[in-house]
């Protein structure tokens, strides 16, 4: 009996609590509806008052009957057309500090958007896609570039550990920036329809953050690489011109070169000077703290995006030649050493300067030691 009474008491408390919650909810809803229907507290705001007057205006203060009852949408459209057709932005006075703060409507942002979607994105696609097609055709026609004399049993040191570490730092950060940059440029057209808004939004946000933070690291590594690799990359007009006229020896006669050939020098100066321009414009976009206005930011966007696309397209050729196109090329930057026959064929003038530093491969040394041990008499 006592248990039943306790259960009834508990049920009664729950019912009472539910009634209190329901009443409180109804009162909250009613209060919210009352607040939405009541007039808002007036706050002085000239910009807001302007747009509210355009939105709420149903009868212009004019005497022409044909222009009465103009819709708010029509008024806003007419205002935008008038602002957009002006020679420059309509600028007034404001207490807000900062570049372009006094502009009623800044049209430069829309001009940049139109340039980006109608010119930059399509042209960038043509440039990158065209370079990939050229590389594919080159592979079909030329095939893999073999060492004609075959691999030797000797090697020569070409790059130090410090040079290789700097190169790979630049390479990794450059590829990271290239991938994230392509997501930001082509993502809306290519990835958004495939991934959907939520997934692409998170991907684009992550790409933007990675791009912003990796960019300065790439800039520092690029300066270090410029200092380490400028020796040997100075132009030698006579030898470089002959190398170009012979097509780098790709299709016939041998083309002599020193430590770097004309193709490598071209890539070096394009990557260094162009990369520094792209880095500088990227820093302008990363740190808008020095009074940059919308015009400065739009110009920085154009320089940054256009320069990055050109360098990225050229890097396709550099990456191809340094990895799968040429036998023995990748191991040079991976180990710091190149095969002696590879050096003779591609950098013969440089090989003449370092011929006294040629050494056998480590495994060849081990094999030689094994042969010596095998040939030594047991009683010796």
The alpha carbon of 107 is separated from its chain's Cα centroid by a whole number of angstroms, namely 26
Q: How far is CA 337 from CA 272, 327, 333, 354, in A?
A: 24, 13, 8, 12
**Which CATH number goes with the domain that contains 332?**
1.20.950.20
Q: What is the pLDDT of residues 196-212, one digit of tens each?
A: 999 999 999 999 999 99
Residues 6+ apart with CB under 8 A from 224: 166
Please report whether residue 375 resides in a domain: no
Please report whether residue 164 resides in a domain: yes
CB distance 159 to 332 below 8 Å: yes
Please report whether residue 147 resides in a domain: no
Q: Encoding tokens for residue 25?
A: 């909810």
Q: What is the pLDDT of residues 10-62, one digit of tens each?
A: 444 454 445 544 444 444 444 444 444 444 444 445 555 555 555 555 444 44
- Domain of 209? 157-364
pTM above 0.75, yes or no: no
For residue 18, what pLDDT is reported? 52
Please report whether residue 133 resides in a domain: no
Domain count, the chain: 1
Please report whether residue 372 resides in a domain: no
Please report whether residue 320 resides in a domain: yes
- Per the prediction, the chain carries an average pLDDT of 80
Please report whether residue 356 resides in a domain: yes
pLDDT higher than 60, residue 8: no
Q: What is the pLDDT of residues 263-321, one digit of tens each?
A: 999 999 999 999 999 999 999 999 988 888 888 888 999 999 999 999 999 999 999 99
Q: What is the pLDDT of residues 121-169, one digit of tens each?
A: 999 999 999 999 999 999 999 899 999 999 999 999 999 999 999 999 9
């Amino acid at each position: 009996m006592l248990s039943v009474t306790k259960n009834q008491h508990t049920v009664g408390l729950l019912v009472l609590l539910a009634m209190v919650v329901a009443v409180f909810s109804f009162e909250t809803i009613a209060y919210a509806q009352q607040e939405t229907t009541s007039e808002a507290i007036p706050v002085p705001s000239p910009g807001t008052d302007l747009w509210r007057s355009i939105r709420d205006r149903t009868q212009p203060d004019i005497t022409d009957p044909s222009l009465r009852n103009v819709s708010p949408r029509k008024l806003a459209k007419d205002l935008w057309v008038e602002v957009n057709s002006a020679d420059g932005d309509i600028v007034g006075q404001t207490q807000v500090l900062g570049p372009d703060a006094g502009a009623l409507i800044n049209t430069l942002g829309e001009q940049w958007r139109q340039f980006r979607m109608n010119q930059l994105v399509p042209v960038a696609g043509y440039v990158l896609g065209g370079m990939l097609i050229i590389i594919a055709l080159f592979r079909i026609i030329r095939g893999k570039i073999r060492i004609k004399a075959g691999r030797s049993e000797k090697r020569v040191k070409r790059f130090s550990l410090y040079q290789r570490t700097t190169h790979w730092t630049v390479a990794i950060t450059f590829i990271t920036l290239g991938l994230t940059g392509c997501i930001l440029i082509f993502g809306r057209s290519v990835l958004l329809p495939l991934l959907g808004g939520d997934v692409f939004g998170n991907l684009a946000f992550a790409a933007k953050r990675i791009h912003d933070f990796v960019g300065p690291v790439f800039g520092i590594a690029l300066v270090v690489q410029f200092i380490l690799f400028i020796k040997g990359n100075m132009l030698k007009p006579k030898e470089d011109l002959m190398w170009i006229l012979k097509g780098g020896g790709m299709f016939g006669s041998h083309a002599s070169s020193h430590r770097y050939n004309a193709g490598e020098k071209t890539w070096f100066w394009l990557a260094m000077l162009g990369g520094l321009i792209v880095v500088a414009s990227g820093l302008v976009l990363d740190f808008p703290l020095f009074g940059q206005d919308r015009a400065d930011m739009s110009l920085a966007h154009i320089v940054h995006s256009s320069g990055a696309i050109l360098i990225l397209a050229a890097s396709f050729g550099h990456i191809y030649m340094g990895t799968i196109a040429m036998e023995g090329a990748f191991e040079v930057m991976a180990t710091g050493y190149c095969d002696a026959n590879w050096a003779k064929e591609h950098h013969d003038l440089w090989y003449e300067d370092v011929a006294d530093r040629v050494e056998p491969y480590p495994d060849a040394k081990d094999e030689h030691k094994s042969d010596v041990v095998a040939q030594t008499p047991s009683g010796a």
